[in-house]
Structure 1
Amino acid sequence: MSTHRRLGLAAAAALLPLAVAGCSGLGRSAVGTITYETERELVVTVTSPPVEGCHRLGPAGATRIENDTLVDLVAYPTRDCRGPLSTYIPSKTADSIVPGRLPWRSYSVVH
């Protein structure tokens, strides 16, 4: 293999992760599922939500969120993804509210 070709392949391989990360906000979805549980133990699964905007959880909110997507989430106790007491939930992890706290009512995708 020629030196120029090897350098070209190495450059393309190095730039690929940057290109993929840069496209995440272009009408894309968070690949994977977000599963949440309500206070009444109802389990809801959302598949590949859009990365843009604020996403409301069910009317009762969520007491536990499992983030099985390729991106991180931020969960909020408000319906508009604002205010204090937000919780960062990294990709491929789960979190539960602290007893006595309000349930999460919305989430946004970190992109």
Structure 2
Amino acid sequence: MSAHRRLGLAAAAALLPLAVAGCSGLGRSAVGTITYETGHEVEVTVTSPSVKGCHRLAPAGATRIENETLVDVVLYPTRDCRGPSTYVPSNSGNSVVPGTLPWRSYTVVH
């Protein structure tokens, strides 16, 4: 193998980790699980949700949540992450106040 080719392979090998690191933020997720109970008393578990965007909960909404991820979440009573919100820190939980609307969506704080 020529010296020029070995140099090219060495340079490519050195740049590959940098290219992968540069793209790694594209699919970032909240490591862990979010478990919630719907208005119909069904338990739903979401594993490592994306840190980007608004996430919808089950159509019946959620009345109780356990945030067992490494990040905090914000819950909303609407399907589009708008309106009054409830902040739920990492590794904690919360329940809706009786007589109030269930949560229908959430965002991840990152």
Q: Same fold per TM (> 0.5)?
A: yes
1:45-74 per-position Cα deviation (integer Å, ceiling 9, x unaligned): 000000000000000000001000000000
Deviation, 1:26, is: 4.1
More helix by share: 2
User: Which ranges of structure 2 fall in alignment gaps of 5 or more residues?
Assistant: 1-23
| Number of the residue aligned with 1:38 | 38
Q: TM-score, normalised by structure 2?
A: 0.76
Q: Does 1:108 align with 2:107?
A: yes
Query: In 2, Cα distance between the equivalents of 1:89 and 1:27?
Result: 23
Deviation, 1:108, is: 0.2
Q: TM-score, normalised by structure 1?
A: 0.75
Deviation, 1:40, is: 1.6
Aligned residue for 2:75, secondary structure, equals strand
| Number of the residue aligned with 1:56 | 56
User: Which ranges of structure 1 fall in alignment gaps of 5 or more residues?
Assistant: 1-23
Deviation above 4 Å: which 4+ runs of structure 1? Answer: none
| Number of the residue aligned with 1:16 | none
Report which of the two structures shows the higher radius of gyration computed on alpha carbons.
2
Contact 1:74 / 1:110 at 8 angstroms: preserved in 2?
A: yes
Structure 2 CA distance for partners of 1:99 and 1:46, relative to 1, 3 Å:
same
| Number of the residue aligned with 2:96 | 97
